[in-house]
Amino acid sequence: MKSRGVKFALVFAILWAQAFAEDNYSQKDDVYALQSAVGHILQRLNDRDIHINTLEDDVKHLTALLADQVETIREQNSQIREQNSRIQHLEEIIRSTSNENHDTSEDTSGQEHAQSSTSSKSASVRTAPYENDAQRIRREYIGAPVAFLAILTNHITHAGAHQPIAFDRVVTNVGGAYNAHLGSFVAPISGIYVFSTTLLSYPGHTTGFGFVKNNDLVSRLYLKTSAGQYETVAQTIVLQLAKGDDITVRNESPDETIHGSDYSTFAGFLIWETENIPAVVG
């Protein structure tokens, strides 16, 4: 509103000056200079208004984005509370089952002279199964940690067709399921896994690679490079594995070269365990 008032005043001043100049011919040059200066000021006011409008749009956008982030955080907190509630419910079921089993064993013991020794052992009988079952339920519900990252440091030359790539430098190997000598990951438990690989090829090569499960090809990667040019290919897959399934990244083309020097990688991790899922859910 202020800029509109200023613009109106400036326009009024120009019109007044023009009218005044018609009666005072000698001052026309001054009027023209005034008109030029006022025109410059009006242009700057217009530029400022445009900038203010842009800032207002940015503020509106950021406000909407912040509201979305707050809503996302609220939903995530709700999901966390729900997961904790389910875990507590499962632990209560295990505790109740353990107590019932203990009471039944006390009623059928039938040996009065061993009551003192039986009562002394009752605490361990109650707590040990509960603790073991609770830990098992928690592990199965959340999932045992399995993750690895291996990197190729040495160049592989004259690789044979269907030769597994042994990524030799192990950075992460939680669960110990990756074998750096064979370049293979063997699933320690049944579950859903994510695997990814990035491979760098030498210039002037046309190379094929693939993810392999138990010697069966799952997916292909293709890489073609020109002379003097390096190229990278990458892929991520999701697989449901049974315990003992073997996953490798292998070279498909005969007599090929794979670039090491920490450019080529193989990684994977467990996202959900499917082995021994509890029958009772909250």
What is the C-alpha separation between 222 and 183, in angstroms, rounded?
Answer: 20
> How many domains would you assign to the chain?
2
Contact present, 174 and 278 (Cβ < 8 Å): no
Tens of pLDDT along 157-178? 888 888 899 999 999 999 999 9
Q: Among residues 193, 170, 168, which one has the least CA distance to residue 246?
A: 193
pLDDT of residue 76: 75
Residues 70 and 179 in one domain: no
pLDDT of residue 51: 85
Is residue 249, in this structure, part of any structural domain at all? yes
Q: Among residues 172, 173, 142, which one has the least CA distance to residue 273?
A: 142
Contact present, 193 and 269 (Cβ < 8 Å): yes
Count other Cβ atoms within 10 Å, centred on residue 236: 13
Q: How confident is the model at residue 127 (pLDDT cuts 50, 70, 90)?
A: very low
Domain boundary among 142, 166, 182: 142
Assess whether pLDDT exceeds 60 at residue 199: yes
What is the C-alpha separation between 229 and 203, in angstroms, rounded?
Answer: 5
What is the C-alpha separation between 225 and 231, in angstroms, rounded?
Answer: 6
Is residue 279, in this structure, part of any structural domain at all? no
pLDDT of residue 107: 58
Q: Which structural domain, as residue segments, surrounds residue 180?
A: 147-273
Dmax (CA) of the chain? 132
CATH of the domain at 160: 2.60.120.40
- Residue 35, classified by CB atoms within 10 Å of its CB into exposed (0-12), middle (13-18) or buried (19+), is middle
Q: Among residues 18, 141, 128, 133, which one has the least CA distance to residue 83?
A: 141
Tokens 């956008």, residue located: 61
Residues 206 and 113 in one domain: no
Interacting residues of 54 by C-beta distance below 8 A, sequence separation 6+: none
Is residue 19, in this structure, part of any structural domain at all? yes
Beta strands in the chain (DSSP E): 147-152, 156-159, 163-164, 169-174, 178-179, 184-186, 191-201, 206-213, 216-224, 231-241, 246-251, 256-258, 264-273
Q: What's the residue count for the chain? A: 282
Is residue 282, in this structure, part of any structural domain at all? no
| Helices and strands in the chain: count of H runs, count of E runs | 3, 13
Interacting residues of 117 by C-beta distance below 8 A, sequence separation 6+: none
Assess whether pLDDT exceeds 60 at residue 156: yes
The structure's pTM equals 0.49
Tokens of 88: 């507590």
CA distance to 11, 98, 101, 128, per residue, from 109 (Å): 107, 17, 12, 20
CA dihedral 17, 23, 24, 29 (to 10 degrees): 50
Residues 171 and 249 in one domain: yes
Tens of pLDDT along 135-145? 555 555 555 78
Is residue 20, in this structure, part of any structural domain at all? yes
Residues 211 and 241 in one domain: yes
Domain boundary among 120, 142, 164: 142
pLDDT of residue 135: 58
Is residue 52, in this structure, part of any structural domain at all? yes
